[in-house]
Amino acid sequence: MYTEIVKIIEGGMSNDKEKVFNYATLLADNLEKEGDVNFSKKIRTVLSKKKSSLASLDSLNSKPVDQESRMDIINVTYPTKESNEIILNKTTKNEINEFIQVYKQRNKLMKAGMEVGNSLLLYGPPGCGKTSLASYISYKTDLPLVVARLDSLISSLLGSTAKNIRKIFEYASKNECILFLDEFDVIAKLRDDKHEMGELKRVVNSLIQNIDEFSENSILIAATNHEELLDNAVWRRFSWILKLDKPNHDEIVFLLEDLLKNTETNILESKGKRKKISFINELYGFSHADIKNIINKCIRKSIINNINEINNWDILTEVYLRKNHEIENEDKFIKYLYINGVTQEEINKYLNVSLRTVREATKLD
């Protein structure tokens, strides 16, 4: 490991970027083998940005811009190993793997006279993995991810908006990539909406035309949290349509296992059936992003407070705060912990309150 660090410093002092990149990659590999996964990930993230800057010398560097503001209307990112980390239910995973295989074998399909079907529409509640899934597909296909920037795509001049859409699709058709249109409903609204101006309807017409003409060598992914706003004709333009919903019981367990894999905890191995079921049930209704935020907050607190283990009451506390924003009534909070599998003795030690107080608060009605 020390050899790699010395070589990286040598490369930096001599402005040898390739040497820095190669030895940093080797350092990340060795750290991962030694079990320091988090540090390895940080190095790889920095390297992916480096890869992006190196690749800017190729045909992807001439990004389209909004004529009025001169802002880039896309961002380009490159697939990294971290993009492979995503929790999917079995049905969704099978659909996505099939979608990826169809793209990879598109020449075989075209030879047989079949349409490739390279467009995917994702919809569902916020925080359920639509953006993560686009990154996952980027990783699996080894294609750069071209993300449309809605802040610069939508021009104050609606005629320019249609031109910006055209520029994005032309760019993505010239370079093999994944074009990702997030918040898709903003530019794909129902054309019979009486509150929208005629010019905006022409924007939707332009969008539909560009989808129809999109290159089969690239992939189009659109995502929305408001599928009810989409124009009917837009739905028909997508070969694959997937709903990404909030995680079910099994997905919550898989998600927790993934998030807690580098943390000392036994909450998922508990032999107490009531404790385990109650604990998981409290996470129902949260999105993947919500659960990730809850767990990461617990991990941060454990690191700051030098606590070696995360317990179910740590996570239940964050769930309670997420729902109520504060602990206004201690008795109510104690009862909540008890109902969800935390014993009276554990509450006594965790909250530093007397057992008598705990017993009084946990009397069930």
Per-residue pLDDT tens digits for 62-78? 777 767 667 778 888 88
Q: Residue 98: what pLDDT?
A: 93
Report phi then psi at 123, rounded to 5: -140, 160
* Percent share of the chain, pLDDT over 70: 85
Query: Which two structure tokens, joined as six digits, stand for 194?
Result: 């009486």
Residues 41-51 have pLDDT tens digits of 888 877 775 55
**Per-residue pLDDT tens over the stretch 102-158:** 999 888 888 887 877 899 999 999 988 898 999 999 989 989 999 988 767 776 665
Task: Examine the pLDDT at 333 and tell me if it is beyond 80.
Answer: yes
Nearest-angstrom CA–CA distance, 335 and 362: 5
> How do residues 15-43 score in pLDDT, each as one tens digit?
677 778 777 888 888 888 788 888 888 88
Query: Among the listed ranges 82-91, 139-148, 205-214, 255-264, which one has the minimum average pLDDT value?
Result: 82-91
Which range has highest mean pLDDT (74-83, 144-153, 235-244)?
235-244
The least confident of 16-20, 223-227, 230-234, 260-264 is 16-20
Mean pLDDT rounded to a whole number for the chain:
82
Strands (E), 83-138: 119-123
**Would you state the pLDDT for residue 54?**
47
CATH 3.40.50.300 maps onto the chain at 75-243
Most confident region among 21-30, 39-48, 189-198, 291-300 by mean pLDDT:
291-300
3-state DSSP of the chain: CHHHHHHHHHHHHCCCHHHHHHHHHHHHHHHHHCCCHHHHHHHHHHHHHHHHHHHCCCHHHCCCECCCCCCECEEEECCCHHHHCCCCCHHHHHHHHHHHHHHHCHHHHHHCCCCCCCEEEEECCCCCCHHHHHHHHHHHHCCCEEEECHHHHCCCCHHHHHHHHHHHHHHHHHCCCEEEECCHHHCCECCCCCCCCHHHHHHHHHHHHHHHCCCCCCEEEEEECCHHHECHHHHCCCCEEEECCCCCHHHHHHHHHHHCCCCCCCHHHCCCHHHHHHHHHCCCCCCHHHHHHHHHHHHHHHHHCCCCCCCHHHHHHHHHHHHHCCCCCHHHHHHHHHHCCCCHHHHHHHHCCCHHHHHHHCCCC
Assign a CATH topology to domain 75-243. Rossmann fold (3.40.50)
Task: Give residue 249's pLDDT band: very low, low, confident or very high (50, 70, 90).
Answer: confident
Q: What is the DSSP letter of 196?
A: S
To the question of pTM greater than 0.85 for the whole model, the response is no
What pLDDT, on the 0 to 100 scale, is given for residue 50? 54
Confidence band (pLDDT; 50, 70, 90) for 53? very low
Task: Please give the pLDDT value at position 24.
Answer: 85
**Predicted confidence (pLDDT) at residue 221 exceeds the cutoff of 90:** yes
DSSP state of 77: E
Which pLDDT does position 193 carry in this prediction?
54
